[in-house]
Structure 1
Amino acid sequence: MSIVTTASKIDRLAQLTARTETASGTSLWREAMRRMRSSKMAIIGAVIIAGFVLLAIVGPWVAPYGPAEQTWRGEVFSNRGEFVGARAENWFGLDHLGRDMFSRMLVGARQTLLVGVVSMLIGLLIGAVVGIVSGAAATLGGKAGRRIDDAIMRVTDILLALPSLLLAVSVAAVLGQSLTTVMIAVGVVQIPVFARLLRGSMLAQGNSDYVLAARSLGIRKRRIVLTQILPNSLSPVIVQATLSLATAIIEAAALSYLGLGNPDPAVPEWGVMLSAAQRFFDNEPMMSMYPAVGIIITALGFTLLGEAMREALDPKLRG
């Protein structure tokens, strides 16, 4: 995807959610929630996310066995020399070290959710700070502010021009192999997206009547930005945060698959499990299928909810 396409999509999302009220005076978010309640896409996404979060919370307590216990190490292969598949005591079968796959999937859900949420928060918080500085400078900073905005946006454009996975791999390679490294690497990829999105939304709000009225009353620029422009610019950022969770989970799994994740294989995480299972795909493909399907379904849930929120906030689709 080219930098122009990526930037145009981000700016479009900022424009779609620039208004704070509908034509009838209804609150933007109240109207959006009403539309989402009638959206099948939003309901399906919310159900998937709720199920995943519940699994991540209760998984370690309901797992029938310890995720690192090699209880069946001597039974990995059946009498026919095949991997032991699903059976009564092991619903998902055994991995190559005789560990219960079902228990590891349950416990690994928490690690996967943790990686996604922390990565998204890193990108959101740092990107928001950059976006606020750039948006405030461009909106109310005069010529000097526009120069600051141009400098920040050129750096952001350079980061957007790099393929996200390549940038994440580069950061992870510099920091070393660990779960924290994966979180930071994926979070860095999200920073320019949030920065440009918030900056574009603030620019859309900067020409609003309430901003002109506040400036005519002599209110300080900093107060206008923090109490007027910023709160009304957060809608697209919230939508993007939901979509970024799906991206963060996939990219974190990709880094773990490439061997840049948690170096301790005893700690279950879906990306690490997928990486470990690739060596045995020809003999036991289900070892790869379970974590892969879990990642796909989880990412699908966040994507569906995020897209439903985007459509609900689109002024052109409001009835």
Structure 2
Amino acid sequence: MTLAPGKKKEKLDRLAELSAVRDDEQGVSLWREAMRRLRRNPSAIIGAAILVIFVLVAVVGPFLVPYDPVDQSGIREGVIKPGSIPGSSGEHWLGYDHQGRDEFSRLIVGARQTLIVGIVSTLIGLTIGVLIGGVAGAAAGLGGRWGRLVDSSLMRIVDMLLSLPSLLLAVSVAALLGPSLVTVMIAVGMVSVPIFARLLRGSMIAQANRDYVLAASSLGVGNTKIAMNHIIPNSLAPVIVQATLTLATAIIEVAALSFLGLGNPDSTQPEWGLMLADAQVYLDVRPGLAIYPAVGIIVTALGFTLLGEAMREALDPKLRR
């Protein structure tokens, strides 16, 4: 029995509607889906807003500060006296510090120092950790007996670093190299090396068991090419998330090393951890000298943590709602 031309066209149109894929049902990439979920996450929005403000203050702020952060105008004008440090005023919004310098200007300029040290130390740990973890993961996932030997050797080194508490490891490295800004970057970077190495290795081993690796191997693609072109790029998502979280930890650890006297020996250069250390003697006179840099450290670390946790949830397929 043949259908009438009109009914046949209607049936074909209905089948076309049923088989068509709507725009909101089309497949999207992992990163596009993650960005879409981040835009709906309040924690991600708050964290990103904090970081944007922090970066703007660190980059642009030093050019707009009202006073030279190393100028001891308070001592020169005689307003700093034993047991008395002037607080906020119309000219000096956060008052003076113990050496007669404008506290607001030092706080703004110190944000740049904190940002640079935190980013550089994280990049040091990320670079070395990705190198170790990438070699170990490729050797474990695609290598034979020699691959397992290389993986085992590298992971024992990483395990030794992981066995030490992070702050103790940073203090040990800083004490060996001597107090300086470069020392702080290296010390904090070394703390995060085993974290990145372990994370990338585990992610690469998981990716090595995927079907696309088997398909590439069956087509005759070499192990090195598979690892570099396919496994490593698909394994970097958790590492990038961890780098965001590590930035928060790096800022706190940089401040801790400066607080312990292992940071920049030049106390005239503003840095939040050093400012916090200098303010301990004057807590009973001007507690604000410790509160201002402490709040800066806490809020900045909170911003990186909120954004990092939101990215982790957005990239985790198990947590998709």
TM-score (norm 1): 0.91
The residue aligned with 1:17 is none
Using the TM superposition, give the Cα deviation of residue 82 of structure 1 relative to its aligned residue in structure 2, in angstroms: 2.6
Contact in 2 for aligned 1:67/1:104 (Cα 8 Å): yes
Q: How many residues align?
A: 295
Letter in 2 for 1:142: G
Question: 1: distance between equivalents of 2:316 and 2:213?
Answer: 22
Question: 1: distance between equivalents of 2:225 and 2:214?
Answer: 13
The residue aligned with 1:169 is 171
The residue aligned with 1:182 is 184
Q: Deviations over 1:127-157 (max 9, x none)?
A: 0000110000001111111121111112111
1:147 maps onto 2:149 in alignment: yes
Alignment of 1:192-207 (within 5 A): 192-207=194-209
Question: 2: distance between equivalents of 1:24 and 1:189?
Answer: 42
The residue aligned with 1:212 is 214
Using the TM superposition, give the Cα deviation of residue 280 of structure 1 relative to its aligned residue in structure 2, in angstroms: 1.0
Q: Which has the higher contact order (CA 8 A, sep 6+)?
A: 1
The residue aligned with 1:65 is 67
Question: 1: distance between equivalents of 2:279 and 2:123?
Answer: 30
Q: Deviations over 1:224-272 (max 9, x none)?
A: 0000101100000110010010000000000000000100011101111
Could you list the runs of 4 or more consecutive aligned residues of structure 1 that deviate by over 2 angstroms after TM superposition? 23-26
Larger Rg: 2
1:76 maps onto 2:91 in alignment: no
1:273 maps onto 2:294 in alignment: no
The CA RMSD over aligned residues, in Å, is 1.2
1:132 to 128, 131, 134: 134
Alignment of 1:94-105 (within 5 A): 94-105=96-107
Question: 1: distance between equivalents of 2:191 and 2:272?
Answer: 21
| 2:68 partner SS | coil
Using the TM superposition, give the Cα deviation of residue 25 of structure 1 relative to its aligned residue in structure 2, in angstroms: 3.4
1:290 maps onto 2:282 in alignment: no
The residue aligned with 1:9 is none
Question: 2: distance between equivalents of 1:117 and 1:76?
Answer: 36
Contact in 2 for aligned 1:77/1:84 (Cα 8 Å): no
Letter in 1 for 2:176: V
Question: 2: distance between equivalents of 1:49 and 1:75?
Answer: 36
Question: 1: distance between equivalents of 2:113 and 2:248?
Answer: 14
Is the alpha carbon distance of 1:24 and 1:162 closer, same or farther for their aligned partners in structure 2, counting shifts above 3 Å?
farther
The residue aligned with 2:12 is none
Letter in 2 for 1:280: Y
Contact in 2 for aligned 1:129/1:195 (Cα 8 Å): yes
The residue aligned with 1:123 is 125
| 1:265 partner SS | coil
The residue aligned with 1:14 is none
Structure 2 gap ranges (5+):
1-24
Alignment of 1:225-304 (within 5 A): 225-304=227-306
Letter in 2 for 1:91: W
1:44 to 34, 43, 46: 46
Letter in 2 for 1:86: S
2:223 to 202, 221, 224: 221
TM-score (norm 2): 0.90
Question: 1: distance between equivalents of 2:118 and 2:301?
Answer: 10
Question: 2: distance between equivalents of 1:72 and 1:84?
Answer: 9
Contact in 2 for aligned 1:123/1:190 (Cα 8 Å): yes
Question: 2: distance between equivalents of 1:278 and 1:215?
Answer: 62
Question: 1: distance between equivalents of 2:165 and 2:90?
Answer: 45
Question: 2: distance between equivalents of 1:93 and 1:179?
Answer: 27
Using the TM superposition, give the Cα deviation of residue 35 of structure 1 relative to its aligned residue in structure 2, in angstroms: 0.6
Question: 1: distance between equivalents of 2:194 and 2:81?
Answer: 48
Q: Deviations over 1:30-50 (max 9, x none)?
A: 111111100000000000000
Using the TM superposition, give the Cα deviation of residue 282 of structure 1 relative to its aligned residue in structure 2, in angstroms: 1.9
Structure 1 gap ranges (5+):
1-22
Question: 2: distance between equivalents of 1:140 and 1:25?
Answer: 30
Using the TM superposition, give the Cα deviation of residue 169 of structure 1 relative to its aligned residue in structure 2, in angstroms: 0.1
Using the TM superposition, give the Cα deviation of residue 24 of structure 1 relative to its aligned residue in structure 2, in angstroms: 6.6
Using the TM superposition, give the Cα deviation of residue 273 of structure 1 relative to its aligned residue in structure 2, in angstroms: 0.7
Question: 2: distance between equivalents of 1:60 and 1:26?
Answer: 42
The residue aligned with 2:37 is 35
| 1:264 partner SS | coil
